[in-house]
Amino acid sequence: MLDRPHTPEELNAEPDAQAAGPTAPLTDPFGRSISYLRISVTDRCDFRCFYCMSEHMTFLPKTEVLTLEELDRLCTAFVRKGVRKIRITGGEPLVRRDIMSLFAKLSRHLDSGTLNELTLTTNASQLAHYSKDLYAHGVRRINVSLDTLDPQKFKTLTRGGKLERVLQGIEAARTAGLRIKINTVALKKLNEHEIPHIIEWAHGLGMDLTLIETMPLGEVDGDRMDHYLPLPLVRQRLEESWTLSDLEISTGGPARYVKIAETGGKVGFITPLSHTFCASCNRVRVTCTGRIYMCLGQEAYVDLKEPLRYDASDDALNRAIERAIGRKPEAHDFAIERPNAGPAVSRHMSVTGG
């Protein structure tokens, strides 16, 4: 079912019983509390990872992207409604001009104790520059995406990225006191045989690592199935040389964690195409244009930009958020297995944010 954006008139109309919904904490129709917001602050990026973007991506006009002030208002509205964790993402969040001012503003919610965690997902290319500031603004843990430790392969996968710069960024973050989790997309033929080495490297530096399956999001060049690598197969291969024990950690997200006895570190497996995590889903995603997607794997959204821009009070915004949460679906409907299938969801991860 496609949920069209709502007009300002609709949004400003008296909410019906469902739209009024609960106040804090936000609870969806399936009884799940929404405590985690992922928000994209830009669709732009200095890399062009082949599974994420097409080579000649067209980016959004600046006027369509929320201003830093609007992003702060939006995040603050969610914090008032009980969101306890905010992840800033993109595109590459650290290429957004003056992005530190948003972190600086949001840190007031950490200081007041209303927000438990402010974090980000980054490709690390700008971390050498920003790590100290991030720490000063209350960020303590970050996710860094890295799919290979081979400089040439890195350049190919990201279409031009420099591995050295990323490794310098990771080092700067560690020195600044930020804890890092590495995210690695498992890619058939490209990094599948390098995965044990990446795990050893990460664990050797005290960083946990999460493996991700490619998701059918947005048109990219080529057939995504060429590089789809099922994680059960990766796990089976790891078990041939290592001792994996399941851990009972639940983040409300799609990752399942194991401990590796030989390296002493943790590995997460994100299999977004399975439905096993939907029942505990505690998150929503907001794009840099202010659309709230209640599920990564579905097209339905509610527009929050109109109420943000056309109502200086937060009344219309609050109603739109409640209306959106009232429409969070029970589960996603991804499927990558269909031969020659187009994207299950037409928007790119860089728009929705990972």
- Please report, as residue ranges, which positions from 6 to 45 form the binding site for ligand SF4 (by CB under 6 A): 45
Q: Please report, as a single letter, which amino acid is at residue 113.
A: G
Contact of 156 with 133, CB cutoff 8 Å = no
Paired tokens of 165? 């710069």
Instruction: Kindly give, in sequence order, each residue whose CB lies less than 8 Å from that of residue 178, ignoring residues fewer than 6 positions away.
Output: 131, 134, 135, 139, 140, 141, 142
Q: In this chain, which residue has its C-beta nearest to ligand SAM?
A: 354
Q: How many CB atoms lie within 10 A of CB 301?
A: 25
- Please report, as residue ranges, which positions from 212 to 251 form the binding site for ligand SAM (by CB under 6 A): 212, 214-215, 217
Q: How far is the CB of 42 from ligand SF4 (least distance, A)?
A: 9
Contact of 269 with 255, CB cutoff 8 Å = yes
76: contact with ligand SAM by CB under 6 A: no
122: contact with ligand SAM by CB under 6 A: yes
- Please report, as residue ranges, which positions from 116 to 155 form the binding site for ligand SF4 (by CB under 6 A): 123, 145
51: contact with ligand SAM by CB under 6 A: yes
Residue 48 contacts which entry, ligand SAM, ligand SF4, none (Cβ below 5-8 A, type-dependent)? ligand SF4
Q: How far is the CB of 201 from ligand SAM (least distance, A)?
A: 17
Q: How far is the CB of 353 from ligand SAM (least distance, A)?
A: 6
Give the number of residues written for the chain.
Answer: 354
Helix (H, G, I), strand (E, B) or coil at 228: strand
* SS3 of the chain: helix, strand, coil, percent, to 5: 35, 20, 45
Instruction: Kindly give, in sequence order, each residue whose CB lies less than 8 Å from that of residue 158, ignoring residues fewer than 6 positions away.
Output: 47, 48, 49, 123
Closest CA to 79 of 354, 293, 321, 324: 321
> How, if at all, do strands 291-293 and 283-286 pair?
antiparallel
Nearest-angstrom CA–CA distance, 263 and 203: 6
65: contact with ligand SF4 by CB under 6 A: no
Q: How far is the CB of 349 from ligand SF4 (least distance, A)?
A: 6
Per-residue x/- mask for ligand SAM, residues 257 to 296, rule CB under 6 A? ----------------------------------------
Q: Which is nearer to ligand SF4, 91 or 307 (CB)?
A: 91
Residue 212 contacts which entry, ligand SF4, ligand SAM, none (Cβ below 5-8 A, type-dependent)? ligand SAM
Residue 138 contacts which entry, ligand SAM, ligand SF4, none (Cβ below 5-8 A, type-dependent)? none
| Residues within the interface to ligand SF4 (CB under 6 A) | 45, 47-49, 52-53, 90-92, 123, 145, 350
| Residues within the interface to ligand SAM (CB under 6 A) | 45, 51-52, 89-90, 92, 121-123, 145, 183, 185, 212, 214-215, 217, 349-350, 354
